[in-house]
Amino acid sequence: MEGLKRVAVICILRNQTNFLLLKRFNEPLKGLYVPVGGKVDPYENPYETALREVKEEAGLVLEKMRFCGTLVETSPIKYNWMSFVYEAEVDYFEPPICNEGILEWHDFQNIDTFPTPKTDFFIYQYVLNKQPFALNAVYNEKVELISMIEEIENLKVI
């Protein structure tokens, strides 16, 4: 049913301040750099999804990931998501070939030099500071971010 939230995970693989990001081949977010992740499958919980997606997209078998927070995205069109955000500190490795896009390491200091969703900049900051978050992002019909609130502290971010 249109407008219902799709449940997904965002998996941040981090080596100090470097993030493994995927330049997406497909919509949504085609051409943008995002963490690995994906939709929660039937009968799967978000944590299991995170471990599965990291293995499928980055070739890593992780024993654990840290839950960081949530991102709820709402728009008047089909772009409506509820994402659980996880992260893992990993050793540097050469990114494998991925059928979802091109995997590359990027330093947080350079995050504004390549295309990435506006929400992700804030997510990375919260993750680096090990601060829990519950972000609520609202988009217009062109999927342009018009507001975002961090609900734990009731703080307007955008």
The model's pLDDT over 71-108, given as tens digits with 9 standing for 90+, comes to 999 999 989 999 999 999 999 999 999 999 999 999 99
Burial of 135-158, coded b for 16+ CB within 10 Å and e otherwise, reads bebebeeeeebeebbbeeeeeebe
Q: If you average pLDDT over residues 117-140, what whole number do you get?
A: 96
- Residue at 135: amino acid letter: L
Name the residue among 102, 97, 128 with its Cα closest to residue 24.
102
Count of CA atoms in the C-beta half-sphere (13 A) of 67 = 11
Identify the weakest region by mean pLDDT among 1-10, 86-95, 131-140: 1-10
pLDDT-derived band at 2, boundaries 50, 70, 90: confident
- Residue 3: pLDDT band with limits 50, 70, 90: confident
